[in-house]
């Protein structure tokens, strides 16, 4: 329901080609897309039942936010980008509010440059990390200058979802990452992605500690843990600044915290780590958010 494939291990392990020059974060209230049209009300209960799930009573009565609608509301910010976009990569841990909705073409239409588009799905909390790793590979192999990564969450589900912090969705949100080659940035640095799959539960804490050591400069490097990392675990790390992101937005929550650092005064290197306990998919990102403003 939330993932069908394993995370790709260690997609990037070299000097970064791209820098993160801008991060935009936005949450959304109740949407304006009705989900109770005749086609949807006939289609969804049958599909949910075929998957052995219980249809949630009244699930289609609350208007939702489709990914396309959320992206369209960010159009003014996209218009301010300082050049054409070569590629847009969408990543989400949960399906769209409307079956069959496709957000990629809309993203291509509202971004300058009419970029190509593809999406990373069915990877749970690993999807944002995989999207960033793939963007890096595309830039390295094809010479692309500017890539936009869109991370999305939406909470309109017609069925009950697992009560797990790693997949629970409480709200709708988008995080935009603008990636550019060095020389086009504003003083911010690059990023590095490390991923592994199938980590045994008995090794969770050890492997998280090992990943932190690989990505952090030293114990002064802040670390942000996603909802898949239990705050009650005793982790073998010596970081001074540790923050656990609250569950509820598996695709964007961790990255909203990073966006706040990227646009604020607490800049520098930060390490982001998240885990899907049900699959053992462990992902980490070393993100250089640039020098603090003077």
Give this prediction's pTM: 0.90
CA distances from 98 to 29, 31, 119, 187, 215 (A): 17, 12, 16, 40, 38
pLDDT score, position 209: 97
Q: How many whole angstroms separate alpha carbon 224 and alpha carbon 234?
A: 15
Nearest CA to 249 among 143, 174, 190? 174
**How far does Cα 249 stand from its chain's mean position?**
9
List, in sequence order, every residue forming a beta bridge with 159; answer none if it has no partner. Answer: 55
**Main-chain dihedrals φ then ψ at residue 100, nearest 5 degrees:** 85, -5
Q: Count CA atoms closer than 13 A to 151's CA, side-chain side.
A: 29
Order of strands across the sheet that contains 19-28: 19-28, 172-180, 146-153, 87-92, 116-120
How many helices and strands (H and E) does the chain possess?
A: 7, 10
State the 10-residue block means of pLDDT for the chain, 294 residues long: 48 68 91 77 84 78 86 92 94 84 92 96 94 95 95 85 73 95 64 96 98 94 95 95 94 94 75 95 90 48
pLDDT score, position 163: 61
Q: How many whole angstroms separate alpha carbon 88 and alpha carbon 124?
A: 19
Q: How many whole angstroms separate alpha carbon 274 and alpha carbon 266?
A: 21
* CA triple 209-211-213, angle to 5 deg: 70
Within 10 angstroms of residue 191's Cβ, the number of other Cβ atoms is: 27
**Main-chain dihedrals φ then ψ at residue 224, nearest 5 degrees:** -110, 125
225 and 45 in contact (C-beta within 8 Å)? no
CA distances from 148 to 22, 110, 138, 235, 271 (A): 10, 12, 12, 34, 21
CA distances from 129 to 154, 160, 240 (A): 18, 26, 24
pLDDT score, position 43: 83
């Amino acid at each position: 329901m939330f993932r069908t494939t394993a995370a790709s291990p260690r997609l990037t392990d070299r000097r970064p080609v791209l820098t993160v020059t801008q991060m935009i974060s936005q949450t959304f209230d109740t949407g304006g897309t009705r989900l109770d049209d005749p086609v949807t009300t006939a289609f969804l209960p049958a599909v949910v039942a075929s998957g052995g799930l219980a249809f949630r009573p009244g699930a289609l009565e609350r208007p939702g936010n489709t990914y396309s609608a959320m992206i369209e509301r960010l159009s003014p910010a996209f218009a301010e980008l300082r050049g054409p976009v070569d590629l847009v990569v969408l990543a989400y841990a949960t399906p769209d509010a409307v079956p069959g909705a496709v957000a990629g073409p809309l993203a291509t239409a509202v971004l300058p440059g009419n970029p190509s588009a593809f999406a990373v799905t069915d990877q749970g909390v690993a999807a944002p990390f995989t999207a960033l790793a793939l963007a890096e590979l595309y830039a390295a192999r094809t010479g692309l200058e500017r890539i936009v990564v869109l991370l999305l969450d939406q909470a309109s589900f017609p069925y009950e979802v697992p009560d797990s912090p790693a997949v629970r969705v409480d709200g709708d949100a988008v995080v935009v990452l603008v990636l550019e080659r060095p020389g086009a940035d504003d003083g911010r640095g690059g990023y590095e992605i490390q991923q592994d799959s199938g980590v045994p539960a008995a090794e969770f804490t050890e492997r998280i500690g090992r990943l932190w050591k690989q990505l952090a400069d030293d114990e002064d490097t802040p670390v942000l843990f996603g909802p898949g990392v239990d705050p009650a675990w005793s982790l073998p790390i010596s970081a001074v600044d540790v923050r656990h992101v609250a569950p509820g937005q598996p695709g964007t929550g961790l990255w909203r915290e990073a966006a706040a650092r990227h646009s604020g005064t607490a800049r520098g290197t930060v390490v982001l780590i998240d885990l899907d306990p049900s699959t053992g998919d462990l992902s980490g990102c070393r993100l250089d958010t640039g020098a603090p403003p003077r």
